Amino acid sequence: MSKWLVLCLSAAIVFPGCMESRYITEQYIKTSIEEHAPESLSTIRTYTIYRGIQTTATSRYVELTGYKYKGRKGLVIGADRYYRTTARMTGYPVDVAAITYVELTEAETRAMLENISVIRSELKGDKALMNEEVYHDYAVNGDVFISVRRSASTSGSYSVYLWIRGEKYTLPASTLPKQLKRFLDY
């Protein structure tokens, strides 16, 4: 067997959940937002904004999915992370998944989109000194804020950091604003 095949098979065994989209926001939307009464019909619309593995090193995954339901529009952020802990009874290491859900209103989503542009324009004027990092943040609500960082080594490209209940997730700055705008126009 080639080294490449062995490496791919090993990665598929070690990181099975990291290899494909997990649709974690679908679970939240279908069970926490949409109401299901016995013997009744229900309809909800969803709009995929972003699904992405952060890195296999950090074992993080984030999804942003918009929805329309009963005359309201909102955005659900689903973020999961894996970490290793020790089992109390056996003392053996155990991998644990923690999923965090945050629901944003249409107004909060619009404000997030508008402030990504504001942060981007402020970032152009800031020059970081050697060994200095400059952060520009916007708090969407008590659970979520967006952040952009500039350092002396930062080129013209940047990422948007989405901080969800104290955990950082990196999203591509070229994709997020476009997708949020498409969702809000939807």
Residue 25: pLDDT above 50?
A: yes
Domains of the chain: 19-185 (3.30.2450)
Cβ burial, residue 51 (10 Å; 0-12/13-18/19+)? middle
Residue 159: pLDDT above 50?
A: yes
Residue 18: pLDDT above 90?
A: no
Checking 47-56 for CB contacts under 8 A at 24+ apart, the result is 47/182, 47/183, 47/186, 49/75, 49/176, 49/179, 49/180, 49/182, 49/183, 50/171, 50/175, 50/176, 50/179, 51/21, 52/171, 53/18, 54/169, 54/170, 56/11, 56/15, 56/18
Lowest mean pLDDT among 50-54, 57-61, 164-168: 57-61
The angle formed by the CA atoms of residues 11, 17 and 177, to the nearest 5 degrees, is 110
C-alpha torsion 125→114→27→159, nearest 10: -20
* Residues above pLDDT 70, as percent of the chain: 81
For 69-92, write each residue's pLDDT tens digit: 999 999 999 998 776 677 777 877
* Mean pLDDT of all residues belonging to the chain: 81
| Closest by CA position to 115, among listed 143, 137, 144, 141 | 137
